[in-house]
Structure 1
Amino acid sequence: MALRRAKNTRRTTAANAAPGHDWAVELRGVTRRYGRGAATVHALRGIDLTLPRASFTAVMGPSGSGKSTFLQCSAGLDRPSEGSVRLGGTEITGMSENKLTELRRSRLGFVFQAFNLLPSLTVEQNVVLPMRLAGDRPDRRRAAQLLAQVGLEGKGDRRPGELSGGQQQRVAIARALVTNPDVIFADEPTGALDTTTAAEVLALLRNAVDALGATVVMVTHDPSAAAYADQVLFLADGSMVDALSQASASQIATRMTTLTTRRVSTAA
């Protein structure tokens, strides 16, 4: 299976993409409410967003800002109360649960903080699992190729328990890439890793965008992690309130401090 190459990925953002761009992620008027009446929680308040293919987007915000809900609605893991979501040009908002499951298995990749590898399977079997779940024949050659690209050449026969945390996350990245997905959703992918290992994992996600043409949407609380992205989107109280492009960790941290301080002062 041929690997796609990204074109000028570090300069392509939702803000400067040309009209009619082939969006990887498109949210229009997405609202998510939980509960009823006085107990209603507005997790998302009318999110409008377009992300181009072969881009790396980080999503940040204070605790309770709606980051997790944003990721779940964008990935079809939760349904918005209002609005529409398109992934790779496909409208998913009204899909049946069976169709959504099929789409997630074949066209989306996921990287989680807890790795979510199956301990009873080998590394290779974990990598090709999305292929099996999608009803396709596992491609051992592609699995070996991806394992080599993430620095785990020759470790396909190992079990996850024989690997370090950083190596397990590398397996998770290879698994996320194996089906050439439209989008990879990463939820705090470095939260359980030390600083050095986290940097190695983030460099792999960055390379997946630059060299393989992948699209990555990452929720994180870490400004250093967000600095690997092409752009950082900031959520506050369920609304998209700001965005930074090609920002440094210090710039991102300063913006986050402003958001957190404003939220505390408003609550007081």
Structure 2
Amino acid sequence: MALRQQRPRTDRQQSAHPAVELRAVRRSYGRGDSTVHALRGIDLVLPHGSFTAVMGPSGSGKSTFLQCAAGLDRPTSGEVLLGGAEITRLNENRLTRLRRSRIGFVFQSFNLLPSLSVQQNVLLPQRLAGERQDRRRAKELLAQVGLAEHGRRRPGQLSGGQQQRVAIARALITSPEVVFADEPTGALDTRTAHEVLGLLRQAVDSMGATVVMVTHDPVAASHADRVLFLADGELADELVRPDPKAVADRMLTLTAAVGARYGYAGAAA
């Protein structure tokens, strides 16, 4: 299976601005003594055409980071920019339209609609965005993820790995500026996970996509160009051109440091 460039890159993808930028992003929950500081001032630039993995101990802020960067949650303070455009202060309607047209999502649980066919699931972002449903492009994407003959089937008739391939095709249908993947291989066996990660890697290399992936798996992270490590809501470390052993060693060191800080062995709760 190989993804290939489907159409010329848009002006927004060719922009000199980073794909994603976070400026002093903080996110807190609760008040007073019960306040939880999930993110503590994240400054980060992610260029177009990059593949970034985000890792960290439990409670490090990975999920909050992804939700704020993707416009699914609003920071308590700071700014999030997508292609140079500040999205933090958009009203909910504009933010929803932006997510539907300019951002792709891949989730651990696939999030396919069981009542729709595979092809209809792929086309769903265009339908929700009020765009013309490009069935030809949907068929091409399904062919590229190895599901050319499965467009009329329902998700329940597919294996988990096949459903995740559908989710990748769905994420790419609008040629989004960024694809956010939340533990995309968490529910898959090793071989199938490798195939799915290969598709995300090819989306970056062949289509110029930008992928941001939260994962707990050092092998999955090694498919990325760079691995960012979060701890206590802060960027604690990074690796460029990672390999699985280096990622695993860095995670062990970070987890031990967090455990020592809180006076117990293991990850932060």
What's the TM-score bracket when you normalise by the shorter of the two chains? Answer: over 0.9
Match of 1:244 in 2: 239
Structure-2 separation of matches of 1:21 and 1:254:
35
1:1-268 alignment, distance < 5 Å: 2-4=6-8, 21-268=16-263
The alpha-carbon deviation at position 21 of structure 1 amounts to 4.4
Structure-1 separation of matches of 2:16 and 2:113:
38
Partners of 1:21 and 1:52 within 8 A in 2: no
The alpha-carbon deviation at position 4 of structure 1 amounts to 4.6
The alpha-carbon deviation at position 2 of structure 1 amounts to 4.3
SS of residue paired to 2:19: strand
Structure-2 separation of matches of 1:266 and 1:180:
43
Deviates further, 20-29 or 56-65: 20-29
Point out where structure 2 has 5 or more consecutive residues left out of the alignment.
10-14, 264-269
The alpha-carbon deviation at position 251 of structure 1 amounts to 0.1
Structure-1 separation of matches of 2:183 and 2:6:
29
Structure 1 runs (4+) deviating above 3 angstroms are none
Q: Give TM-score scaled by structure 1 length.
A: 0.93
The alpha-carbon deviation at position 99 of structure 1 amounts to 0.4
Q: Percent identity?
A: 69
Q: Which amino acid aligns with 2:94?
A: K
Q: Which amino acid aligns with 1:142?
A: R
The alpha-carbon deviation at position 3 of structure 1 amounts to 2.8
The alpha-carbon deviation at position 154 of structure 1 amounts to 1.8
**C-alpha RMSD over aligned residues:** 1.2
Q: Which amino acid aligns with 1:122?
A: S
Partners of 1:4 and 1:212 within 8 A in 2: no
Structure-1 separation of matches of 2:156 and 2:32:
47
SS of residue paired to 1:209: helix
SS of residue paired to 1:23: coil
Q: Give TM-score scaled by structure 2 length.
A: 0.93
